[in-house]
Chain A
Amino acid sequence: MRASRGPVANKPKTEPLGDPGGRRTGTWPWFIAGCAATGVMGILLLTMGTKGAEISQTLSLMVGVVGCLLTFYFRQSETGTITLRPRRRWILSAVPLVILGMAAGWWFFIHKPDINVTDLVAVTGGNGMHDKSEAWVALPTEGDITVANSGRDRLALILRLVNPAKVGNCVGPATLNVAPIVDGKWGIPVTVSSGEEARLSLAGVERRAGARVIVNMTDLACVVDLTVAEAILYN
């Protein structure tokens, strides 16, 4: 008497996805490359901190759409055959590739990466600031990177107040009025807290740019120091 081979053995064979001839090995290079690219991108985004989080959020929309399209159009039918004809399949393959190509083109040829100038920014009057004191933040005008030759027209500025004394509730309730100055012309001021990002327009800068900072504190006895935690030129 022959032993039964069980339900698995009797199950009809299905064609592998996208490979009617059964040559699954052809998909492995893509799989490995995809995993490697995802890993590298993940590490890169992690090292970028909050900027990486912003980029991944933006990219996730595109990746999500493309992923869904691919899954939807290349799904396997119940009988194991591809539902689309080869010509339509290649046309549909081209759509996400074109989108990706356009995105990559924008990223590499149009988009300009951020320039971190934190160490190049000069602060005047930032020590021993009282209520309503003014400090001046100047962006670099000499050296390899200057605000004029950077090709960027916006500044993301994070200012931080430090209370050197052990007493006083100074930093928490304080606000900073930050007004951009571009080639001597005053821009629109913004009000931020210590550690909060101020986004300033430097549009049309030809020689020099900076900002005037006024500290507002509720306790007139407070004395604080102003530092630049981050200064990023971007578009």
Chain B
Amino acid sequence: MVRARLRAALTAFLLLAPACGPEPVPTPTPLPKVLYIGVTTDHPGWSTHEAGTNRRTGFDIALADWLRSRLARDVTFVDLRLEERIEALEDHKVHMVISTFSITDERRKVIDFAGPYMITRQGVLVRKDDHRIKNYDDLTRKNRNICVASGTTSQEQLQPFNGKGLALTVEPALQGCFERLVNKQVDAFSTDQLVLHGFAKSRLETRVLDDLTFGAQEQYGIGLPNHDKSTCDLLAGHLKTFLYEGKWEEFLERNLHPANLAAYKPLDLDPCEDGTT
């Protein structure tokens, strides 16, 4: 009789426990032992790769290395072009992308982001001896030839002016735009101002127009496959430590040393997207 009562009580508990519990929490996705991280290879100051020595340098590489130690995982870098970043995440060729990857509402529809860990705006790079472009009107209304990389937010922001006040040259990679600028094939090269600082640092015959920024903020985040909230939450926690406990300043100073570091630092991280939406 006692056993029967015990069984009944146990059954009742098992039946009722789910009813009284909180909302079901998605099971965290365990990170694999080896993380495949998508990076670019031709962004001076952010992510470069020397083929001979196999050496990688830049802010994004430093961040990936810092995350590797925090997550206690091995990392394999996967070389990507800018326009390949979203596809690589959608096809699960990489676990994450760390590559001056601007968070946008449009991109959030197909992938997730942890971040932002950097804020910049669109900027303009010109040859050091060229003083024709001084402001936004000079850039967009005087039929200058401006180079942007395909698949970037820079292309999106200048595309409406193409053929109306400027001529847009689209290159598959940022390095292509930089070469065109140095070789005097275009009047200016536009992309995120912090990225341009990296290029200007690598070749002294160019300069960033410090006072000319435009468009929406470029907020860099770590790109993740869609609906991966658990990994996003995990990375966001580490990014907070990265941002507010000293390493962020150290890495930025070492790789890009812009004038005003604080201007590029996010005040807070975005909430990770709910996996159900």
Binding site for B on A (CB under 8 A): 57, 60-61, 64-65, 67-68, 71-72, 75, 163, 165-173, 193, 195, 218-219, 221-222
Please give, as numbers and ranges, the residues of chain A lying within 8 Å of B4 by CB-CB distance.
Answer: 75
Besides A60-B18, A168-B216, A169-B102, 13 other A-B contacts (C-beta < 8 A): A64-B16, A68-B12, A68-B16, A71-B8, A167-B104, A167-B216, A169-B103, A169-B105, A169-B270, A172-B273, A195-B277, A218-B267, A219-B217
Within B66-108, the residues touching A (CB, 8 Å) are 102-106, 108
User: Is B271 close to A, CB under 8 A?
Assistant: yes
Q: Are B215 and A167 closer than 8 Å at their CB atoms?
A: yes
Within B102-123, the residues touching A (CB, 8 Å) are 102-106, 108, 113, 116
Q: Are A64 and B12 closer than 8 Å at their CB atoms?
A: yes
Q: Are B8 and A68 closer than 8 Å at their CB atoms?
A: yes
Please give, as numbers and ranges, the residues of chain B lying within 8 Å of A72 by CB-CB distance.
Answer: 5, 8, 12
Q: Are A67 and B217 closer than 8 Å at their CB atoms?
A: no
A68 and B216 CA atoms in complex are apart in Å by 60
User: Is B259 close to A, CB under 8 A?
Assistant: no
A75 and B153 CA atoms in complex are apart in Å by 69
Please give, as numbers and ranges, the residues of chain B lying within 8 Å of A168 by CB-CB distance.
Answer: 104-105, 216-217
- Chain B nearest CB from A128 CB (Å) reads 15
- Chain A nearest CB from B237 CB (Å) reads 17
- Nearest A residue to B154, CB-CB: A167
- Chain A nearest CB from B159 CB (Å) reads 9
For A61, A71, A169, the residue with the greatest tally of chain B CB atoms inside 10 Å of its CB is: A169
- Chain B nearest CB from A135 CB (Å) reads 18
Please give, as numbers and ranges, the residues of chain B lying within 8 Å of A75 by CB-CB distance.
Answer: 4, 8
Q: Are A61 and B273 closer than 8 Å at their CB atoms?
A: no
Within B232-277, the residues touching A (CB, 8 Å) are 267-268, 270-271, 273, 277
Q: Are B270 and A173 closer than 8 Å at their CB atoms?
A: yes
User: Is B20 close to A, CB under 8 A?
Assistant: yes
Q: Are B153 and A64 closer than 8 Å at their CB atoms?
A: no
- Nearest A residue to B153, CB-CB: A167
Within B1-38, the residues touching A (CB, 8 Å) are 4-5, 8, 11-12, 15-16, 18-20
- Chain B nearest CB from A162 CB (Å) reads 8
Q: Identify whether the interface residues of A are mostly helix, strand, loop, or mixed.
A: loop
Given known contacts A68-B12, A172-B105, A219-B217, is B156 in contact with A166 (CB within 8 Å)?
yes
Q: Are A57 and B270 closer than 8 Å at their CB atoms?
A: no
A75 and B7 CA atoms in complex are apart in Å by 12
- Nearest B residue to A53, CB-CB: B23
A67 and B13 CA atoms in complex are apart in Å by 12
Binding site for A on B (CB under 8 A): 4-5, 8, 11-12, 15-16, 18-20, 102-106, 108, 113, 116, 153, 156-157, 215-217, 219, 267-268, 270-271, 273, 277
A21 and B268 CA atoms in complex are apart in Å by 74
A173 and B104 CA atoms in complex are apart in Å by 11
- Chain A nearest CB from B100 CB (Å) reads 14
Question: Which residue of the partner chain, among B11, B157, B217, contacts A169 with CB atoms under 8 Å?
Answer: B217
A219 and B153 CA atoms in complex are apart in Å by 15
- Chain B nearest CB from A99 CB (Å) reads 15
For A60, A163, A218, the residue with the greatest tally of chain B CB atoms inside 10 Å of its CB is: A218
A173 and B156 CA atoms in complex are apart in Å by 21
Q: Are B19 and A169 closer than 8 Å at their CB atoms?
A: no
- Chain A nearest CB from B265 CB (Å) reads 13
- Nearest B residue to A68, CB-CB: B12
- Nearest B residue to A62, CB-CB: B19
A41 and B132 CA atoms in complex are apart in Å by 73
Question: Which residue of the partner chain, among A65, A71, A219, A222, contacts B16 with CB atoms under 8 Å?
Answer: A65
Q: Are B16 and A61 closer than 8 Å at their CB atoms?
A: yes
Q: Are A163 and B103 closer than 8 Å at their CB atoms?
A: no
- Chain A nearest CB from B130 CB (Å) reads 27
Please give, as numbers and ranges, the residues of chain B lying within 8 Å of A219 by CB-CB distance.
Answer: 216-217, 219
Question: Which residue of the partner chain, among A65, A68, A163, contacts B105 with CB atoms under 8 Å?
Answer: A163
Please give, as numbers and ranges, the residues of chain A lying within 8 Å of B19 by CB-CB distance.
Answer: 57, 60-61, 64
Q: Are A193 and B156 closer than 8 Å at their CB atoms?
A: no
A170 and B102 CA atoms in complex are apart in Å by 12
A169 and B219 CA atoms in complex are apart in Å by 7
Q: Are A68 and B15 closer than 8 Å at their CB atoms?
A: yes
A171 and B103 CA atoms in complex are apart in Å by 11
A61 and B102 CA atoms in complex are apart in Å by 47
Question: Which residue of the partner chain, among B12, B20, B106, contacts A163 with CB atoms under 8 Å?
Answer: B106
- Chain B nearest CB from A167 CB (Å) reads 5
Question: Which residue of the partner chain, among A57, A67, A165, contacts B15 with CB atoms under 8 Å?
Answer: A67
A163 and B156 CA atoms in complex are apart in Å by 14
